[in-house]
Structure 1
Amino acid sequence: MTPKDPGPAYCLNPDCGKPIDRGAGSGRPRRYCNDTCGRAYRRAREESPTPDALAHNDFADRVADDLTQVIAHIVQLTRTQQPLAALCLLRLAEGDLEDLKAVLVQQARDQRQKNADIAQCLGLAPEQLSRKLSADTVRRRMDSRPLRTRTRVRLPRQAAPPPAPASRAVSAGRIPGQRRPATGGGGMTPSRARDPDRHPGSPAAVLTRALSHLQRLSGKTLRELADDTHVSASYVSRVLSGDRCPSWKIARLFTLACGGDPAEIQPLWAAARGQAPTQRQSLPAALRGLHLAAARPRADQLGEHTHLSARAITGMFDGTALPAWEDVEELAHALNAEAQPLRPLWNAACAALAGPSAFTAGPVTEVTG
């Protein structure tokens, strides 16, 4: 009986990707196009961190920074005798510590530390470490952190903190996620999105998530997408893993091949490339792109994580309402994305509504209709 053709194979070196000639001979199938290419890849992998290792390093830095800010808030709340608020933030700190412990374990593995040595530091047996903090567990914590940390803070409605001493700022007792009161004296109200429980992804990460979600929705394989975009399957894989930022031509072909809207992807691509968005890119389309990158949660779910109503969020996606800039910031951060790349689009929307002579750079109130 003739064995089934396994299909084309490609070199595992991501900088090569050449087809591999897998004949009918015996022995293990080849993984690289030749021995020289394999040795070069293994040597480069040992000398430089992998994309996964870089992601672990970045995640550890962000969690450590967030934990520092949360602890500072807890100290302030403790000194102003606000125990309920401090206890709510303490839950955040506990989760941050668990996230930090998980990613530090993975960092040690990336550095090829022995499993027994890592377990000893935590007071665990090696088999307990492998079971409780496997690589999959760390990856799940990294993926679930943005929404998990946002939903953990819930203050009792009847809890009213005592007046803060005059020597302390009133904002010291504010819990992340609460709406800030307007400041007097003509000063600008601080952004709601600058809270320690916000974890916006970088523009490149948002683009990667959007393209990956499109690929999952389409059900297409890497080989099929490679044929549609006229690149190699290994290159498509690197784009979906965030290792490569494609050109707009490839990103557009990829989006069309997956049945997506290029207008939603183009603002994300421009932000990932560090480019200013063009006037053809509308604010609603950019928000829909962020929505896609977050796997399109329902408006009522987003409303639970923001101070916006489901109707207002839907209006922002549909373009039937022009929100205030702080609402754009809050929605973007609820979608785990940075808001600043949207600022030129919001300014353009304000200018189009008010007209060239009436436009000012300040925030505007929400317009419905």
Structure 2
Amino acid sequence: MTPKDPGPAYCLNPDCGQPIGRSAGCGRPRRYCNDACGRIYRRAREKSPTPDTLAHNAFARQVADDLTRLVARMLELTRAQQPLAALTLIRTVESDLEDLQAALVQQARDQRQRNADIAQCLGLPPEQLTRKLSADAVRRRMDSRPLRTRSRVSLPRQAAQPAAPAPAPQSVSAARIPGQRRSPAEGEETAPSRARDPDQHPTAPPAVLTRALSHLQRSSSKTLRELADDTEVSASYVSRILSGERHPSWKIARLLTLACGGDPAEVQPLWAAARSQAPTQRQSLPAALRGLHLAAARPHTDQLGENTSLTAHAITGMLHGTALPAWEDVEELAHALNAEAQPLRPLWNAACAALAGPHSVTGPVTEVTT
């Protein structure tokens, strides 16, 4: 049997593009003209910001902005000779400084700075930095910040006033970050929530996965043949996956995602929902929401804000995990992205339980039923 002609091929490095001599024999086909060109291309891809990197940068900016406002308020109280009110803010400033320190350490790691250099800036031994500010520790601080800040949103303006009676404990299941929803302008009718609109028919999970993989393929500009080489399956099978005729295994879905420059953490919740599988503990609500955002071709948050009652800032916080949304907000965002919200329910329950913990300031978590 005569082997098929593999056809012309070119180096995947866009700055090179030189033709590659491919043989029709066995073995994986070459992707780069030489090893050095491949290393240069892979390093360039590693420098592009990942969703986690963008979330870390947004977290650092948010904490720095909060600190700026707190310090300005402390300056006002100091000039007004209100030492007790200013002292009340000291603990808040210290907590925000710890958050900012964690955010900056993670930023340095995202930039591939050496752990020893980061520790030297803080005056800590490298092993102590690893224990105190591991990647998991930074992620926990990011996840817990919404609950810690919600109870003091109005603190800078109320510090000089007598303390008000403590409100009754509130259930995490009903929690809402202030400013999450848009206030209708004067004369504007409030749009009905898409989360409860009976006329809306969200796309089923298998179709959402297909949309996400198709958008990744279009964004990457890779051909079916190139994706077939990356995933070691036939180009016709890749075509059937992208058209929704076939549902791939997670191995193939992951390889397709990586080949297109996507984040497997965003696609895995979509794949699990398409297979009617319960989400794993490794999956998170923000990653699943980013997956739905990907499947909808990543519309701008301002556009989503116009189509929902949520603010663009709240939507950004939900996508990057900097805010714990109420379930109705998760529903509304999912439906605005033309997807079912129910597969997200276990992830939302897990987020509530993780943020509440044994020392939650908002009271015990109530049981959430479907």
How high is the TM-score relative to the length of structure 1? 0.47
How high is the TM-score relative to the length of structure 2? 0.47
Higher relative contact order (Cα pairs below 8 Å, separated by 6+ residues): 2
